[in-house]
Structure 1
């Protein structure tokens, strides 16, 4: 079987906290695997990806998974744990008595059932007692029409999810209409444009990133940068001394930097860089910034060109700065001491780094056609890109888990 793409789209609650991810597969219905039955493809993909990365990448979040008709009839979802799996019934499934029987059985067994791209009709009424989530594509069904349906069912346990929320205005309107959950890209664009000065510590972090992007680390230069910023130096020493591997307290920046080494130092700086922006943004933005950085770095290592993996890391990490700081990226880049190749990729969207960043964004948005074109341009295989994405998701999960406990991984 040909290797598959998989992506995750975040699902946020009314407070813009991440409560789950829809796991998106490239499979039979899109004619990607013309020689394989869609249900077989879905089952195989679930086995390959959901089981292998489920616990490390979802954590306590829900995993929303689309299931074609026959896989529901065959009770394929019951092969997986029910605690954080949301079984999505695809919109092209017919509301037959056979399907109703399967849905009733799975719901009573503790599985969370969702209706995807729902269009209200009397044929689906018998299913509603067993449904926990109804998803409306607000590009197909207007928010106003969805609100009428939501009000009719407001006394039930059903929660409503707005799909394709592309702007902050979409989010606000859907929020006011009574939607509970939101899926889309509104949170990766500025909610408002206003000037926010780059704090001195952030400039220092960018300079640290630039140092770390060089082929060989200049520990003296790094030591000088850390010594300029009280907050950074405190975080560094706390981070290092929290490790169970440290037998004696580390008191100097040089000791700390040498102890961490390049990989863990890169992790530390990435986290601090993202955390030193602003607090009021969805947590997924911070995770996505780090994940993009790692993905771009891994892809750069596989591309046969002179692109620097360190520059690719910075390109991914800073690609959401406009959203995090509510400023146009061109304005931000003027203040950032990064290489021209990074600035060109972010501001103009041209060059190899821009193509690498494009693969990350295409993955996140499950835009398989764009991904295929970019992978052809970069001369990378499906297997390579999919492995990079899985590794980046895993790395980010490990990194943020270690950051929460204060232990370098």
Structure 2
């Protein structure tokens, strides 16, 4: 039986990804096999932590796991090393004596505990000394009210970390940061901060020129070499990256042409989307680039599973460019005009139309753990949900492996 999960990044004030919340389908009314919260949590733990000892889909970062009432009462987290994950106490848990004893035991055993979707009530006050993180859902708890709670506890010397959930815009991120939140969860990082036409920096223009070349059916390596050679920093990153991948070679790769030929078309596209874009806009969060890559891989692999004829390279480019407006802070329509993309890719990126648009909407729905939309799109695309789930999980593991071969962002 397959695992059905999505992951959502948790970022700090510098927009660095410090972990991922792993979201299993959350109840019997969702689209996947009808199992309850307890079994969902147990399956997620068994599939992702028990066999491997660490989680392959969090890129070595912290995993935030939801635990229902019964799992906590039965001390299920004690079956796993205390550094494996952060225990999220679901908002549906009853704050009774039995739960408090379990929380105390886990706290004293060294586990990190978080109160999920927290709403301050007198019943939860006695739990606060034993938790490390409190999560507020900004769609439920106004930032101003949460900020008052944070200040009141900080004034008392509390060392609790506060996490803002469902942060959807950069303005919300800034307001939550000013209110005292330490961590942030939501897709604010994957939306353009300035949706208006503006001049691109030279490094961003270099990236756009590279994008033009890798968008063509056949990559012209000579043209790519000339573009990369105009930028010293980018040239260094290319050689550094390729030599990291080929450390077993007796003689290191020392020329652009050698590097490009070694990479080949497929790996070159991966290199450009991460290294070149992160070089172009260095203040963007790392999660943005890996989300682009993960969507590209997911779209490429899923296109090969559909019963209609879809160019997998077009599918890859659709996923790859789905966040281009966020990376360069320009309207997607203006950017697409500058790229040699086929009509189906353009329609998918601008209007989410066609089979490619359906795949992209499915990727976005999975990122957001929108199981109802996933079910509807699977029916429209005539594909089994288990195939989609496995493809998504594979794309997460793939991007984790790819991440390990890349140079660090400056």
Where structure 1 has 5 or more consecutive residues not aligned to the other structure, the ranges are none
How far the C-alpha of 1:37 sits from its partner, in A, is 4.2
Alignment of 1:118-133 (within 5 A): 118-133=118-133
Distance 1:317 1:36 in 2: 34
Q: 1:81 to 1:196 in 2, by over 3 A?
A: farther
Residue 205 of structure 1 is matched in structure 2 by: 210
Establish whether residue 357 from structure 1 lines up as the match of residue 356 from structure 2: no
How far the C-alpha of 1:11 sits from its partner, in A, is 1.0
Q: 1:328 to 1:105 in 2, by over 3 A?
A: same
- Maintained 8 Å contact 1:10/1:20: yes
How far the C-alpha of 1:116 sits from its partner, in A, is 0.9
- Maintained 8 Å contact 1:117/1:137: yes
Q: 2:315 aligns with which of 309, 312, 316?
A: 312
Q: 1:182 to 1:203 in 2, by over 3 A?
A: closer
- Maintained 8 Å contact 1:171/1:182: yes
Residue 337 of structure 1 is matched in structure 2 by: 340
Cα deviation, 1:129-157, whole Å, max 9, x if unaligned, reads: 10111111111121122122112211112
TM-score (norm. length: structure 2): 0.90
Alignment of 1:234-253 (within 5 A): 235-242=237-244, 243-250=246-253, 253=256
Alignment of 1:71-82 (within 5 A): 71-82=71-82
- Maintained 8 Å contact 2:24/2:40: no
- Maintained 8 Å contact 1:163/1:182: yes
SS of 1:371's equivalent in the other structure is helix
Distance 1:267 1:280 in 2: 20
Q: 1:52 to 1:293 in 2, by over 3 A?
A: farther
How far the C-alpha of 1:298 sits from its partner, in A, is 1.0
Alignment of 1:6-405 (within 5 A): 6-28=5-27, 30-32=29-31, 36-51=35-50, 54-154=54-154, 155-194=157-196, 195-197=198-200, 199-211=204-216, 214=217, 217=218, 221-230=220-229, 231=231, 235-242=237-244, 243-250=246-253, 253-404=256-407
Cα deviation, 1:294-315, whole Å, max 9, x if unaligned, reads: 1111111212222111111111
After TM superposition, the structure 1 stretch with the greater mean CA deviation from structure 2, 235-244 or 177-186, is 235-244
Count of residue pairs the alignment pairs up = 399
Distance 1:56 1:4 in 2: 13
Task: Output the aligned Cα RMSD.
Answer: 2.3
Cα deviation, 1:6-61, whole Å, max 9, x if unaligned, reads: 01111111222111111101143545567544312320222113446743332442
Distance 1:128 1:68 in 2: 18
Where structure 2 has 5 or more consecutive residues not aligned to the other structure, the ranges are none
